[in-house]
């Protein structure tokens, strides 16, 4: 009479064993899929790096590092061409820096408002606006810059340089206008990442600060923000990286001329230099444009290294 129970137990054990083997097989398959995806990502980065080196280095050897990186004359189509990109590099650095100077404080303070001070309805309205900013195509930022910022900049330019015989009027398309557009474009990145970092701060830090008699504002600036510093720094660097790689909007509002990067000068960024001339370039001219891309790629790598350093430092401090 006990045989059916034994057979039933054996059947259950067999089913459990098959189920275990099936789970193990599924895990092995998923591990292989994950490894393949990781390999694809690493291979893509390696391929891009190799391609940029192969395309960007020949011009440095042919024209010379000094002439390309440290000369300010950009005349690639002249009878005796000049390929100096110093002003273009400085424009990207200064334009991004000015954009960060305007955009980063506004972004961090907005993140503080969302994470610490706003009510549910107020936070929902502001967060919806931030998400909308993140979803707007960059070319629309450029169009808004042309029709809203450029006229204002031109009025300001005419007041400042009224009567000047040396200033070349830009119609409002200048470095300052491009930087303001970049400041608006980096806001979503800075706000969203900073808010996440601020919300991740342990409640005990806020409670301890308030218990010591600090006001809510003092708690935010003296306790919460210092504790969230690695995440906020990451937000800033990601925003700077976004600004450094922007093309379409900057092409429309910067004037796209190679000049000394002063606020009311028409200027050209690294990205816009490539977009503006790649279509008709050839020979050495095209090779130098790839060199500009290599310079931009190096800037991106440095920004990522800086980000990893800050994140690692923040982890160690915790």
pLDDT of residue 313: 65
pLDDT of residue 8: 54
Per-position DSSP letters for 114-125, written without gaps between them: IIII--HHHHHH
pLDDT of residue 318: 54
Contacts 24+ apart (CB under 8 A), 113-118: 114/191, 114/195, 115/195, 115/198, 115/199, 116/198, 116/216, 116/220, 116/224, 117/216, 117/220
Give me the residues of the chain with pLDDT under 50, please. Answer: 1, 3
> To 5 degrees, how large is the angle CA 278–CA 280–CA 283?
80
- pLDDT tens digit string along 28-57? 888 989 999 999 989 998 999 999 999 999
- pLDDT tens digit string along 75-100? 998 888 899 999 999 999 999 999 99
pLDDT of residue 112: 92
Residue pair 254/267 in contact (Cβ under 8 Å)? The answer is yes
Name the CATH superfamily housing domain 65-317.
Answer: MetI-like (1.10.3720.10)
Residue with tokens 């060199």: 291
314 vs 310: CA distance, rounded Å: 6
Residue pair 174/161 in contact (Cβ under 8 Å)? The answer is no
64 vs 74: CA distance, rounded Å: 14
pLDDT of residue 40: 92
Domains of the chain by residue range: 65-317
pLDDT of residue 1: 47
- pLDDT tens digit string along 229-246? 888 988 988 888 888 888
């Amino acid at each position: 009479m006990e045989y059916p129970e034994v057979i039933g137990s054996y059947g259950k054990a067999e089913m459990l064993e098959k189920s275990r083997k099936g789970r193990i097989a599924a895990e092995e398959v998923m591990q292989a899929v994950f490894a393949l995806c990781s390999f694809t990502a690493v291979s893509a980065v390696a391929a891009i790096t190799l391609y940029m080196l192969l395309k960007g280095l020949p011009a440095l050897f042919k024209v010379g590092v000094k002439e390309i990186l440290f000369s300010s004359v950009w005349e690639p189509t002249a009878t005796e061409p000049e390929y100096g990109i110093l002003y273009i590099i400085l424009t990207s650095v200064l334009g991004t820096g000015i954009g960060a100077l305007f955009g980063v404080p506004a972004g961090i303070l907005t993140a503080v408002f969302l994470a610490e001070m706003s009510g549910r309805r107020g936070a929902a309205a502001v967060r919806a606006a931030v998400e909308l900013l993140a979803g707007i195509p960059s070319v629309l930022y450029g169009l808004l810059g042309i029709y809203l910022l450029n006229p204002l900049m031109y009025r300001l330019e005419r007041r400042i340089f009224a009567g000047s015989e040396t200033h070349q009027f830009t119609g409002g398309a200048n470095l300052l206008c491009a930087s303001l557009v970049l400041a608006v474009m980096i806001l979503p990145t800075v706000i969203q990442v900073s808010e996440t970092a601020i919300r991740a701060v342990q409640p005990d830090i806020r409670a301890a600060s308030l218990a010591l008699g600090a006001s809510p504002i003092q708690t935010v600036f003296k306790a919460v923000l210092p504790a969230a510093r690695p995440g906020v720094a990451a937000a800033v660097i990601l925003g700077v990286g976004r600004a450094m790689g922007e093309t379409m909007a900057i092409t429309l509002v910067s004037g796209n001329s190679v000049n000394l990067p002063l606020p009311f000068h028409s200027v050209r960024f690294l990205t816009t230099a490539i977009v503006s001339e790649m279509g008709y370039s050839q020979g050495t001219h095209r090779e130098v444009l790839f060199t500009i891309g290599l310079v931009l790629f190096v800037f991106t790598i440095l920004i990522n290294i800086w980000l990893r350093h800050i994140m690692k430092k923040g982890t160690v401090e915790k």
